Every structure is written in structure tokens, then in C-alpha cells.
């Protein structure tokens, strides 16, 4: 541990550099060796890393002309970064994000695509607890030939709680029939319970093009669980 003396030139300092971190204590500012956890890899983290590596390898296996198509697609679709809408992502980022979204619902990677616009879906959904099942019911049929979606939900929160992205977890929904999608197993596996009627959960749903790599339109909000 080393003590750091501040001056008129440097009045405050924080953060880490080269394995060392600055910390404030009762004795003043100190520089310590940054602690590293022995094992920070859960099964889900390891699976996620393996998925990303496999998609990265798939990108590098593409021919240069195929990679150019992904870059060119962006000049046509104008898909921007999440935190900077004035800057486009690149072809590699588009490939990675889009293939991950497909893998979340069990779709195989899409390497050959069409230049096709994606209009925002107008359908909505409600969440239902029937006593023996927890499911999402859409207001209309999902056009599986045009769209697929990723759904994220939170743990039950107090009714009227303002929407927050904190706590959103991906739900691997299973198509049931008609306009129904099962949620019982994935939700209970993540949170250890299912929300009861009249409880509230926050949601985010992303819509993607299934034959054209359009990074989705998304909707956010809250749902009060209904009962049959």
C-alpha cells in the first residue's frame, strides 16, 4: 500500500490502473493492489462466453464479400449504437448482436439475408396466471415469417412502481398454441416463483426481422398480472 499526496495540480483521483486502485480512507488517499476474485464464472456466464466465441468464429469464417454485405446493410438500415444514436454500429457488431438474439430463442444463425425493412409490430400482450400456468397472451398472431421477439421480465414489484430496467431477465418463452406463450418454467427457474394475479412486473420486448438482420424495435412498460 502506498499513500498518495494531492497537490494544487491534482486535487482528487479515483479508479484503477495497471492492477492498482485508488481508495479514500480515514488516513487519506491510498493506492492498493486491486483484488481479483478467485472465481467469478457462473454456469450461465460460461455458457454466454461460449456462445459469443462461437458467433465470433462464425464471423471470421465468412468470406470478405459476405462481411461486406453486413457492413453495407448498415448504410441501408442506419442502425445506431444504443448509447449514441448519431453513430452507426459496424457489420461485426450487427452480426454479433443479431445472432445472439436469434440464439436466445433457439434459432440457427442467419448468414444469408435479404435487404428488407421491418415495420414496428402493432400487437400487444398481457400476462396471465391461470392457477396452474403462467403465460403471455398476444392480441394477434405473431407473424413468424417476418418477426421474432426477445422478452425480458422482472421480479414482481409493488403495483404502481415506476418502470425501471433494473432486474430485467430474459425469458425463454415456449410457443403453446393460438396466441399463447408459456412462461411458467423459465420465470420460476430464474425467480423461484411466478407472479400472482394483480401483482405487477416490468417488461421489455424486442422485435427483430427473421430474414433480415434488423436490430429490433422495442417496447417497455409494466403489466398487472391477470387471472382467468
CB of 119 within 8 A of CB of 161?
no
pLDDT in tens, 65-96: 999 998 888 877 767 666 655 677 888 998 99
Task: Give the CATH number of domain 125-227; options: 3.30.70, 2.40.50, 2.30.30, 2.60.40.
Answer: 2.60.40
Q: Report the mean per-residue pLDDT for the chain.
A: 83
pLDDT of residue 10: 45
In this predicted structure, the answer to whether residue 35 has a pLDDT above a threshold of 70 is no
- Read off the pLDDT of each residue in 189-218 and give the average, rounded to a whole number: 92
Domain boundaries defined on the chain: 44-104, 125-227
- Read off the pLDDT of each residue in 35-64 and give the average, rounded to a whole number: 79
In this predicted structure, the answer to whether residue 42 has a pLDDT above a threshold of 50 is yes
Helices (H), the chain: 43-61, 64-77, 91-104, 184-191
What is the distance, to the nearest Å, from the Cα of residue 39 to the centroid of all Cα atoms in its chain? 24
- Read off the pLDDT of each residue in 47-66 and give the average, rounded to a whole number: 89
pLDDT of residue 114: 83
45-79: b or e for each residue (b if 16 or more CB lie within 10 Å)? eeeeeeeeeebeeebeeeeeeeeebbeebbeebeb
Range of 24-38, 81-95, 185-199 with top mean pLDDT? 185-199
Amino acid at each position: 500500500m502506498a499513500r498518495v499526496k494531492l497537490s494544487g495540480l491534482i486535487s482528487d483521483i479515483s479508479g484503477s490502473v495497471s492492477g492498482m486502485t485508488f481508495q479514500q480512507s480515514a488516513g487519506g488517499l491510498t493506492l492498493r493492489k486491486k483484488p481479483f476474485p478467485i472465481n467469478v464464472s457462473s454456469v450461465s456466464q460460461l455458457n454466454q462466453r461460449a456462445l459469443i466465441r462461437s458467433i465470433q468464429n462464425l464471423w471470421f469464417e465468412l468470406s470478405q464479400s459476405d462481411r461486406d454485405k453486413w457492413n453495407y446493410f448498415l448504410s441501408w438500415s442506419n442502425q445506431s449504437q444504443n448509447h449514441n444514436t448519431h453513430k452507426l454500429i459496424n457489420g461485426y457488431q450487427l452480426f454479433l448482436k443479431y445472432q445472439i438474439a436469434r440464439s436466445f430463442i433457439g434459432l440457427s444463425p442467419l448468414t444469408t439475408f435479404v435487404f428488407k425493412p421491418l415495420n414496428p409490430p402493432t400487437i400487444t400482450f398481457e400476462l396471465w396466471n391461470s392457477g396452474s400456468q403462467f403465460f403471455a397472451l398476444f392480441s394477434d398472431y405473431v407473424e413468424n415469417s417476418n418477426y421474432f421477439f426477445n422478452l425480458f421480465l422482472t421480479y414482481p414489484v409493488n403495483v404502481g412502481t415506476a418502470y425501471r430496467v433494473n432486474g430485467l431477465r430474459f425469458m425463454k418463452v415456449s410457443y403453446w398454441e393460438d396466441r399463447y406463450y408459456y412462461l411458467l418454467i423459465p420465470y420460476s427457474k430464474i425467480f423461484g416463483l411466478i407472479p400472482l394475479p394483480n401483482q405487477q412486473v416490468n417488461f421489455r420486448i424486442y422485435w427483430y426481422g427473421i430474414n433480415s438482420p434488423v436490430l429490433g424495435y422495442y417496447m417497455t412498460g409494466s403489466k398487472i398480472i391477470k387471472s382467468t
